[in-house]
Amino acid sequence: MAISFVHIFFLLLLLLSPLHLSLAKKCIFTEKYEVHIINKLPPNSPQLKVHCASKDNDFGMHYPITNEDFNWSFCGLLFSETTLYFCHFWWNSKDKAFDVFNDKDYCVHNQTFPNHLKYCKWEVRSDGFYLEQYNSDTKQYFMSHYMGWS
Ligand SMILES: *[C@@H]1O[C@H](CO)[C@@H](O)[C@H](O)[C@H]1NC(C)=O
Ligand SMILES: CC(=O)N[C@H]1CO[C@H](CO)[C@@H](O)[C@@H]1O
């Protein structure tokens, strides 16, 4: 990424003033990532419960209703590859816990297609967890089954 005057401006603000808290989401020199967890379970089925966290952030328990998008964003770290978010899901007396972000190019390790959008979209369905992928050959987005509930 080229260093522009805008970046230098923000860097100066960061160094010279206490404004850095409000600038935190600007992602100076690094990429901004988004993670979306979308409840695609059948309506009138048991309530989905989601608990997501990283080493530094704990989002607490969330109860997204059907079609609700629970999401957050964060800045990639400049000198580290170690950003990691994980979630624990409970539904219909089943539960599952896994990393929803541990790879800045693929969202999670070992996917077939890299994610150029920096946008990790997960869907929770009755047959398990799907991650959106972009097939660069066919130029189409599709939901890829990542794992089941059991
Ligand atoms: C992301 O979550 C916020 C609430 O925190 C919600 O208002 C917004 O609609 C969500 N984004 C999308 C794309 O649904
Ligand atoms: C099966 C496989 O490809 N596993 C790899 C998944 O990604 C991690 C981290 O990049 C590798 O260490 C594994 O070998």
Coil, strand or helix: which one is 65? coil
More confident residue, 67 or 77: 67
Coil, strand or helix: which one is 89? strand
CB 71 within 8 A of CB 35: yes
C-beta neighbour count of 121 within 10 angstroms: 20
User: Tens digits of per-residue pLDDT, 16-55?
Assistant: 544 444 444 678 888 899 999 999 999 999 999 999 999 9
Of the candidates 95, 108, 101, which has an alpha carbon nearest to the alpha carbon of residue 83? 101
pLDDT for 125 equals 98
Q: Is the pLDDT of residue 6 over 70?
A: no
Q: What is the mean pLDDT of the chain?
A: 86
More confident residue, 145 or 15: 145
d(CA 23, CA 25): 6
pLDDT for 45 equals 95
Q: How far is the CA of 63 from the centre of ligand 1 (A)?
A: 14
Model confidence, pTM: 0.80
Q: Under the phi-then-psi rule, with left for phi > 0, alpha for psi from -120 to 50, and beta for the rest, what region is 89?
A: beta
Section 2-8 average pLDDT: 66
Q: How far is the CA of 111 from the centre of ligand 2 (A)?
A: 10
Pocket of ligand 2 (CB under 6 A): 109-110
Ligand 2 atom showing the smallest separation from residue 110 Cα: 6
Pocket of ligand 1 (CB under 6 A): 69, 71
| Ligand 1 pocket test, candidate residues 25, 62, 68, 71, most atoms within 8 A of CB | 71
Q: How far is the CA of 108 from the centre of ligand 1 (A)?
A: 22
